[in-house]
């Protein structure tokens, strides 16, 4: 069984989707969820699915404590699902091509520091894009610059708000993220 560790900062809908998908396969399992946000909804979602949760501080993240835990847990894949902090170089170097992220736009457009969630959707709307989508990519030392694994686009010509774009993106995320993870591990 391949081991996955998920990092999330917010509501955790993607984390929940991944956990449920794993529970339906005999290929992979989420062994832990880590969050930097002690009030994140992902904690409740993980707890309800009997997945252990680790809450950590920026200091723990940057001083090697989280790296130490990851080395002990030895995951086959680390999945960032709505995790907002830049991953420390030390972790990236210890787990080359074993850390992936999902981004709510078609990279390289709308990537980089501060480009997450509604910030991305609003920028896409403001620029009157006809389509947007999701990008699943490897994590490297820079925000949103790792090698692209998968992209899927969706037309947004009918969207008049960032919320409407977000709804379409969530559908794509839930439809494809778990599937791509499974393909990477098999």
Do the beta carbons of residue 43 and residue 55 sit within 8 Å? yes
3-class DSSP assignment, residue 68: helix
Do the beta carbons of residue 110 and residue 100 sit within 8 Å? no
Q: Which one of the listed residues 21, 103, 121, 137 is annotated catalytic?
A: 103
Report residue 83 as tokens: 């995790």
Residue with tokens 């839930």: 174
Beta-strand pair 131-138/99-103: antiparallel
Residue 170 annotated among the catalytic residues of the structure: no
* Residue 183 CB burial class (10 angstroms; 0-12, 13-18, ≥19): exposed
Report residue 38 as tokens: 């002690």
Active site residues: 103
């Amino acid at each position: 069984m391949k081991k996955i560790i998920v990092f999330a900062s917010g509501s955790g809908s993607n984390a929940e989707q991944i956990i449920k998908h794993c529970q339906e396969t005999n290929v992979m399992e989420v062994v832990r969820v880590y969050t930097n946000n002690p009030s994140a909804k992902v904690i409740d979602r993980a707890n309800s699915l009997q997945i252990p949760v680790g809450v950590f501080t920026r200091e723990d993240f940057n001083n090697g404590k989280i790296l130490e835990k990851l080395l002990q847990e030895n995951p086959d894949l680390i999945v960032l699902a709505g995790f907002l902090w830049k991953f420390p170089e030390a972790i990236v170097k210890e787990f080359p091509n074993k850390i992936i992220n999902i981004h709510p736009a078609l990279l390289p457009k709308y990537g980089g520091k501060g480009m997450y969630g509604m910030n991305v959707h609003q920028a896409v709307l403001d620029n009157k894009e006809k389509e947007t989508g999701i990008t699943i990519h490897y994590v490297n030392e820079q925000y949103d610059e790792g090698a692209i694994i998968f992209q899927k686009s969706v037309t947004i010509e009918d969207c008049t708000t960032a919320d409407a774009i977000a709804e379409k993106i969530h559908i794509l995320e839930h439809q494809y993220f778990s599937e791509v993870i499974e393909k990477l591990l098999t």
